[in-house]
Amino acid sequence: MSTFKVLQFNMQFGQGWDDADPDRAPVDLELTISEILRHDADVVLLQEVEHAQPDGAQPDPPRNYTRLKAALKGYYGYFSYPKPDPRELPFGIGLAIFSKTPLRDTFRYDLPSPPIGFEFLGEQKTPTDRLLIGAKTTLAGHELQLFNTHLLAYFMLNSSSEDHIKQRQLVIEQLRGTSGPALLGGDFNVSKHDLLVRQFAEAGYQTVQTEEITWRRRPYVLDHIFYNRRLRPVRHAVKPTLASDHHILVAEFEFVDQA
């Protein structure tokens, strides 16, 4: 293996995209699965795996993840819900990592959200906490640390992530504890990503791209794959898909021998 491929995808719990009525587009998990499989990635990082249930109920086992795990034959998987919370809104929740090589040292880490008030369907709400998950695997004789996250969309709350950077700081604290090859994928929900990119660069992580939009609802680059100096990106692409309101981001990497 000279390179390995990573797929980053906010799958919006399998709900596809309909230009005429995106909020009522049908859920088609089989389309989601076919989109993931056709890229034949070595590592798959997914956000919004499950559809949040009323009162924050979290079905166990998780329905979509269970179907994905059965369909992604030859992959090892790890999944986690965020912290249970009856305030959960009816959108996508839950993170998953799939890898063609065994996963170990899996973990989850809660990312508290600030008590910003906002209105949803005529009621006052505050946001629920977010999540970071991680695992290690071995590719081509190299240990690789994987991280996956989905941060709060402050721009949807008439606020700004530039005023609330604590979640990103908590993620960076976890990144700083890794000295070997590592990468972080996720939906970072940042409309103006310059500060995000600078903040992670200061921690030694670069993103594979900042030019092509990854979200259909607004022209934002929300999805990223960050990598440290022990990895070198060889190629990347944003792959449009009708399987979500997000596009798929794929990138190929090679390991960099430490001098």
Question: At 241, which CATH number?
Answer: 3.60.10.10
Q: Are 81 and 65 in contact (CB under 8 A)?
A: no
Q: Say yes or no to pLDDT of 259 above 70.
A: no
pTM of the predicted model over 0.95? yes
The whole-number pLDDT of residue 41 equals 98
pLDDT digits (tens, 9 = 90+) for 143-191: 999 999 999 999 999 998 888 899 999 999 999 999 899 999 999 999 9
pLDDT digits (tens, 9 = 90+) for 106-141: 999 999 999 999 999 999 999 999 999 999 999 999
Q: Are 248 and 238 in contact (CB under 8 A)?
A: yes
- Domain residues for the domain of 216 are 4-255
Q: In the chain, how many domains are there?
A: 1
Burial 164-193 (b: 16+ CB within 10 A, else e): bbebbebbbebbeebeebbbbbbbbbbbeb
Q: Are 80 and 108 in contact (CB under 8 A)?
A: yes
Chain-centre distance for alpha carbon 219: 18
Backbone phi, then psi, for 231, in 5-degree steps?
Answer: -130, 150
Q: Say yes or no to pLDDT of 20 above 60.
A: yes
The whole-number pLDDT of residue 258 equals 72
Q: What is d(CA 233, CA 4) in angstroms, rounded to the nearest whole number? A: 10
